[in-house]
Amino acid sequence: MMFRAHPAPVLAISQPSHAWIAGQILRSWARDLDQALLLAADQHDIAWLDWERSPSFAATTGRPHSFRALGPATHAPMWAEGIERALAAWGMRVALLISRHGALLYTRFADPARMSPADAAAVEGFLRQQRPLQRQWAEALGLTEAVLEHDTGMIAMADALSLALCGDLKTPLEVKAPDGQGGEQTLRLEADPEAPGRFTLSPWPLRVPALVLEAEAMPLPASGRFADEAAMRAWHAGVRRAPFTLRLEPGQAKG
Is 255 contained in some domain?
A: no
**Predicted pLDDT at 73:** 97
- Predicted confidence (pLDDT) at residue 101 exceeds the cutoff of 50: yes
Is 213 contained in some domain?
A: yes
pLDDT digit string, tens, across residues 196-251: 999 999 999 999 999 999 999 999 999 999 999 999 999 999 999 999 999 999 99
The structure's pTM equals 0.96
Q: Which of 33, 2, 36, 35 is nearest to 16 (CA)?
A: 2
Helix (H) or strand (E) segment spanning residue 21: helix 15-27
Helix (H) or strand (E) segment spanning residue 174: strand 173-178
Is 232 strand, coil or helix?
Answer: helix
Is 143 contained in some domain?
A: yes
**Which structural domain, as residue segments, surrounds residue 146?**
2-250
Q: For 7, phi and psi rounded to 5 degrees?
A: -75, 165
Instruction: Please report, for residues 40, 121, 148, 150, the alpha-carbon distance to residue 34 in angstroms, rounded to integers and kept in the order given.
Output: 10, 34, 11, 11
Number of domain units in the chain = 1
**Predicted pLDDT at 7:** 86
Is 113 contained in some domain?
A: yes
- Predicted confidence (pLDDT) at residue 254 exceeds the cutoff of 90: no
Helix (H) or strand (E) segment spanning residue 135: helix 117-141
Helix (H) or strand (E) segment spanning residue 13: strand 11-13
**Predicted pLDDT at 112:** 80
- Predicted confidence (pLDDT) at residue 255 exceeds the cutoff of 80: no
Structural contact between residues 173 and 164, judged by C-beta atoms closer than 8 angstroms = yes
pLDDT digit string, tens, across residues 112-143: 888 999 999 999 999 999 999 999 999 999 99
Distance CA 35, CA 26 (A): 10
Radius of gyration from C-alpha coordinates of the chain:
19
Mean pLDDT, rounded, for 158-174: 97
**Predicted pLDDT at 253:** 58
Is 184 contained in some domain?
A: yes
Is 210 contained in some domain?
A: yes
pLDDT digit string, tens, across residues 14-53: 999 999 999 999 999 999 999 999 999 999 999 999 999 9
- Predicted confidence (pLDDT) at residue 88 exceeds the cutoff of 80: yes
Percentages helix, strand, coil for the chain (3-state, rounded to 5) are 50, 20, 30
